A = this chain, B = another copy of it.
Amino acid sequence: MPDRPDTRFRRLREKGCRDFSTACQIIDAARICHVGFVHGNFPYVVPMAHARDGNRLLIHGSVASRLIKNLAAGLNCCVTITHFDGLVLARSAFNSSMNYRSVMILGQAHAVLGEEDKARGLGLLTEHLLPGRLVELRPSTRQEIHATTLLALPIETFTVKIGAGPPDDPAKDLGAGIWAGTIPIRLTAGTPQAAPDLDPHIPLPGYLQNDWYR
């Protein structure tokens, strides 16, 4: 029986919450997560793609991956999703910080085994990365689906931390005579680059002309 994870807020408590819909917004706005697990006496942290299916977080990987096998076997894990939203430039280094939104989910994942449920979950991963893409693709083959393990982690034990807003300098620093404020930062998509082997008659699809990631 695994210990219960410790999700008490200790530092910067005013930035923490446990609101499910806030967590979902942060999860849905991100395309990658960082998955933590323990092997031997060491923690390991690896980036992965993710999607959300209601109250479970979906990740996937090769059936041949040792990590994926261990996660499917119920290894304790931590999935953290972070948006780096900006720099907060205070009048001192000490009060300068970052704006961010972050969710940390702790627990055990399990493999999604039912064929229909698994195909649907893999579709959610594709569609989360690029909405509109899934319907264009040929259906995955049975062999491809069998080569992939889909994992679901319940979004039950989680914490949210959000840093937002302008710098908060003490009154004694306000006359410092230097600029203070925030620099918003976000991910943006550049111009799509056609594959070298793409038939030049195939036009750029509509879902790539939208303003996503902008």
Which A residues lie at the B interface, using CB under 8 A?
2-3, 5-6, 10-11, 31-32, 34-47, 49, 61-62, 64-66, 76-80, 82, 84, 87, 89, 91-94, 96, 98, 100, 102, 104, 106, 122-123, 125-126, 129-130, 133-134, 136-138, 140-141, 144, 147-148, 166-167, 169, 173-174, 176-199, 202-205, 208, 213
Contacts and interface: CB of A to CB of B under 8 A. Distances in A.
Nearest 4 pairs between A and B by C-beta? A36-B43, A184-B190, A36-B45, A45-B80
Q: Is the interface of A mostly helix, strand, loop or mixed?
A: mixed
16 contacts: A3-B40, A6-B42, A11-B65, A37-B43, A45-B79, A46-B102, A47-B80, A47-B100, A166-B193, A177-B202, A178-B202, A179-B194, A182-B192, A183-B193, A184-B189, A185-B213
Contacts of A147: 94
Instruction: Please give the count of copies of this chain that the complex contains.
Output: 2
Given A46-B104, A179-B208, A169 B193 contact: no
